[in-house]
Amino acid sequence: MSPTLSHLDELEAEAIQILRETAASFERPVLMYSIGKDSTVLLHLALKAFWPGKPPFPLLHIDTTWKFREMIAFRDETARRLGLDLRVHTNQEGLAQGVNPFASGSKVHTDVMKTQALRQALDMWKFDAAIGGARRDEEKSRAKERVFSFRDRHHRWDPKNQRPELWNLFNTRINQGESIRVFPMSNWTELDVWLYIWKHGLPVVPLYLAKPRPVVERGGTLIMVDDHRMPLEPGEKPRMVSVRFRTLGCYPLSGAVESEADTLDKVIEEMLRAKTSERQGRLIDHDQSGSMEEKKREGYF
């Protein structure tokens, strides 16, 4: 009686092993909760890894103040429903300086409100391990990322000087002030994530499902007008278009796709027929060639 483990079971077992290693090896781990589909799966895996106990670490959300309103509602509801310790951090200096995606541009906005904010939060709470839902198949430079990825005192990543990782014997040793980024879902693909959500019936932010939403077009990309801060051209009026999102981030930087897929099944079906990658709608990835690598070196997730 040995039913072969399916590939999804195997990925789950691997992720749980990594989460438990993190909890056992670090003094102050934290789970980076960014509300999207990957975070949804990551959180579910963490709940499973420590059941019947609770995950022995808080959740951290870096709030740029430009997230979709539905994301924030979903975040707060999730933390309340599961009774988890949710920490939210916003870069107050950046906010005071008026940094925003429109006036400052996506590059500066991302650096100040995401990367710098993350570094502030990790320093403030003295977290020594930050668990994230990033996957190696998302982007070229992520393909060489370790599962336990070392960061120096300045939270910097040195891609050319990474620790070799063999078997599941992870090297979790760090000195004071250094930290580790942990990626339990390194080996998952976008399809695996959706399949896991589907199989376990996990709730996701409604923005992943198509619905008529107010959008404007910016450089060939559909941007949803989520609040009054979106500057409109003189005479411009948002159109109601049935759209959904493949990845979620700051609303001015997240491209919507036109779609009628209003159920999870339909979304997955559309994805299976898709000819473009999920990060295509992410404006911040296109600032320059190799830009993800640059951002990761600086401490971006």
Partner 1 sequence: MSFAELKEGERLREYLERYERTELLRFLTCGSVDDGKSTLIGRLLHDTGRIYEDHLAALERDSKVHGTTGGGLDLALATDGLKAEREQGITIDVAWRYFATNTRSFIIADCPGHEQYTRNMATGASHCQLAISLIDARKGVTTQTRRHAFIASLLGIRHVVAAVNKMDLVGWSEDRFREIEREFFLYCQRLGISEPAAVPISALQGDNVVRRGTNSPWYAGPPVLELLESVPVDRPSPDAPFRMPVQCVIRPDLDFRGFAGQIAGGSVKPGDRVRVLPSGRESRVVRIARAQEDGGDLPYAAAPQSVVLTLADEVDCSRGDVICCVGDDPAVTLGIECDVVWMQEQPLVPGQRYLLRTGTKTTPCTVRRVRWLLDVDTLETSPAESLRMNEIGRVQLECEERVVVDGYRDCHATGALVLVDRLTNATSGAGMVRLPTEIGARRAHWETQAAETLERADAKPSLVTAEERERRWRHAPRTVLIYGPPKSGKTRAALELERQLFDAGAAVVVLDGQALRRGVSKDLGFSDEDRSENLRRAAEIAKLLNDQGFTVILAMVAPDPAARARARALIGEGRWEERGMGVASSPEH
Judged by beta carbon, residue 22 or residue 110, the one nearer partner 1 is 22
Cβ(67)–Cβ(101) under 8 Å? no
Judged by beta carbon, residue 56 or residue 214, the one nearer partner 1 is 56
Judged by beta carbon, residue 88 or residue 174, the one nearer partner 1 is 174
212 counts as binding partner 1 under rule CB under 8 A: no
The angle formed by the CA atoms of residues 127, 159 and 280, to the nearest 5 degrees, is: 90
Cβ(8)–Cβ(196) under 8 Å? yes
Cβ(226)–Cβ(69) under 8 Å? yes
Instruction: Pick from 28, 48, 107, 218 the residue near partner 1 by CB under 8 A.
Output: 48
Q: Which of 139, 140, 120 is nearest to 130 (CA)?
A: 120
97 counts as binding partner 1 under rule CB under 8 A: no
Judged by beta carbon, residue 92 or residue 263, the one nearer partner 1 is 263
| Residue whose pair of structure tokens reads 């002030």 in the numeric block | 177
Judged by beta carbon, residue 124 or residue 274, the one nearer partner 1 is 274
Region binding partner 1 by CB under 8 A among candidate stretches 2-10, 72-80, 122-130, 208-216: 2-10
Residue 61 burial (CB count, 10 A): 22
Region binding partner 1 by CB under 8 A among candidate stretches 84-92, 216-224, 237-245, 286-294: 286-294
Residue 21 C-beta: closest distance to partner 1, Å: 6
Three-state DSSP class for 29?
strand
Q: How many residues bind partner 1 (CB under 8 A)?
A: 69
Omega cis (within 30) before 214: no
Instruction: Pick from 280, 287, 298, 301 the residue near partner 1 by CB under 8 A.
Output: 280
Determine the Cα–Cα distance for residues 45 and 166; give it in Å rounded to an integer. Answer: 23
Of 171-210, binders to partner 1 (CB under 8 A) are 171, 173-175, 186-187, 189, 191-192, 195, 198-200
Determine the Cα–Cα distance for residues 40 and 151; give it in Å rounded to an integer. Answer: 25
Judged by beta carbon, residue 211 or residue 297, the one nearer partner 1 is 297
Instruction: Pick from 166, 228, 233, 235 the residue near partner 1 by CB under 8 A.
Output: 166
Alpha-helical runs (H) found in the chain:
7-25, 37-50, 69-82, 92-96, 105-109, 117-124, 190-200, 264-273, 291-298
Residue 293 C-beta: closest distance to partner 1, Å: 6
5 counts as binding partner 1 under rule CB under 8 A: yes
Residues 6+ apart with CB under 8 A from 228: none
Burial of 56 (0-12, 13-18, 19+ CB in 10 A): middle
221 counts as binding partner 1 under rule CB under 8 A: no
Q: What is the DSSP string of 129-151?
A: EEE----TTSSGGGGG--SEEEE
The contact mask relative to partner 1 for 131-150 (x = CB under 8 A, - = no) is -----xx--xxxxx------
Residue 261 C-beta: closest distance to partner 1, Å: 11
| Residues at the contact surface with partner 1, assessed by CB under 8 A | 1-2, 4-14, 16-17, 20-21, 23-24, 48-54, 136-137, 140-144, 159-160, 162-169, 171, 173-175, 186-187, 189, 191-192, 195, 198-200, 265, 268-269, 272-277, 280, 289-290, 293
